[in-house]
A and B are shown apart, each in its own frame.
Chain A
Amino acid sequence: MGSGSSPCASCKLLRRRCAKDCIFAPYFPSDDPHKFAIVHKVFGASNVSKMLQELPVQQRADAVSSLVYEANARVRDPVYGCVGAISYLQNQVSQLQMQLAVAQTEILCIQMQHHQDDSALALPTQMQHHDDDDYKPFLLPTTHNLDNISQYINFASSSNVIQDPAATVKRESLWT
């Protein structure tokens, strides 16, 4: 905290006295002014303060990290922000799901071929049902978030403006 020593990065930027119970001080130390500057630029100090106040203390560090991540993404890509990366990753997941389905179908075909060649347990209909139960393609789990959010995504997938989000996602870890 910053009352006895130098003010935190937030109070320094906002040019105010850094109180002992400053809500920003634990998460925006004075040696990293850029961190608060970017969050303030995108969300605004008062919005960040409200958001943090609504969270239990043990969750505030992660919340700040995610806000910094989002703010950085928005500054880098003012049109799409994090949504560009989300759209790209969803496309990757879809492609992998398709490849996996193809591969699993190929295994089915090879196994059927083996059984036909053996001609010992040649029951294609039964095998089909049994194998369908076993070889489920990898599917996105239908979490609450994804169910509610998927309806908002269509605009991103239809756009051609995805400014290399792969580099964005790969270059920095989740909590840069």
Chain B
Amino acid sequence: MSSGRCAACRYLRRRCTQDCILSPYFPSNNPQRFASVHRIYGASNVTKLLQRLPTHLRSEAADSLYFEAQCRLEDPVYGCVGLIFLLQQQIHSAESQLIKTQAEIAVMKSQTQHPQTQPFRAISGSNNLLLQQSDNDANLIFSNQVSSGFI
């Protein structure tokens, strides 16, 4: 009996029936996957969530639950939201860099038409400046969030 159980039923120490909703997504060869999801969401919440979805979407849902559970285990305060915030900061920084670089291209092209003597060598310095500014902005945002309180 024990060899036929999925990771979920093995973890929960129950019989794994043929129509076990969790078994396709939590195979017995990866017990850590269910353990992570169970620790954050709980087996019954995961079961309810998957039951509400059409069968062809459950695999993706189980994967995303596992991903978010892993994020939360690695970062108990922010979970995957920390990653979202980091990406938003990177997008903001990259957009600023891109705008600046494109402006420099425009200036250099106009210099080609109207030659001047000063070459542009500002990029590495300005990259550092932008990165520093974005770091400071990140610090400001976090402290504002903490001080404003979400109680």
User: Pick the contact of A66 from B74, B82, B141, B151 — CB < 8 Å?
Assistant: B82
Residues of A near B15 (CB, < 8 A) are none
Q: Nearest Cβ distance between residue B29 and chain A, in whole angstroms?
A: 17
Q: Are B108 and A111 neighbours in the complex by a CB distance under 8 Å?
A: yes
B78-113 interface mask toward A, CB cutoff 8 Å, 1 = contact, 0 = none? 111111111110110111011001101100110110
Q: In this assembly, does B146 line the interface, its C-beta being within 8 Å of a C-beta of chain A?
A: yes
How many A-B contacts are there with CB distance less than 8 Å?
Answer: 185
Q: Which secondary structure characterizes the binding site on chain B?
A: helix
Residues of B near A136 (CB, < 8 A) are 124, 127
User: Pick the contact of A138 from B57, B65, B94, B109 — CB < 8 Å?
Assistant: B94
**How far is A74 from B91 in the complex, measured between Cα atoms in Å?**
23
Q: Are B42 and A96 neighbours in the complex by a CB distance under 8 Å?
A: no
User: Pick the contact of B123 from A54, A80, A104, A156 — CB < 8 Å?
Assistant: A104
Q: Are B81 and A66 neighbours in the complex by a CB distance under 8 Å?
A: yes
Residues of B near A54 (CB, < 8 A) are 76
Q: Are B57 and A110 neighbours in the complex by a CB distance under 8 Å?
A: no
Q: Are A79 and B57 neighbours in the complex by a CB distance under 8 Å?
A: yes
Q: In this assembly, does B19 line the interface, its C-beta being within 8 Å of a C-beta of chain A?
A: no
**How far is A45 from B82 in the complex, measured between Cα atoms in Å?**
22
Q: In this assembly, does A128 line the interface, its C-beta being within 8 Å of a C-beta of chain B?
A: no
**How far is A76 from B57 in the complex, measured between Cα atoms in Å?**
15
Given contacts A82-B84, A107-B108, A145-B71, 5 further A-B contacts (CB under 8 A): A74-B49, A79-B64, A90-B87, A114-B119, A174-B88
| Chain A residues near B (Cβ < 8 Å) | 26-27, 29, 41-44, 46-47, 51, 54-55, 59, 61-70, 74, 78-86, 89-90, 92-93, 96-97, 99-100, 103-104, 106-107, 110-111, 113-114, 134-136, 138, 140, 143-146, 148-149, 152-153, 155-156, 159, 161, 169, 174-175
A-B contact pairs, 19 of them (CB 8 A): A26-B151, A43-B45, A47-B45, A61-B151, A62-B146, A65-B145, A74-B49, A80-B61, A81-B64, A83-B64, A89-B91, A90-B87, A103-B102, A103-B105, A107-B108, A144-B74, A145-B75, A146-B86, A149-B70
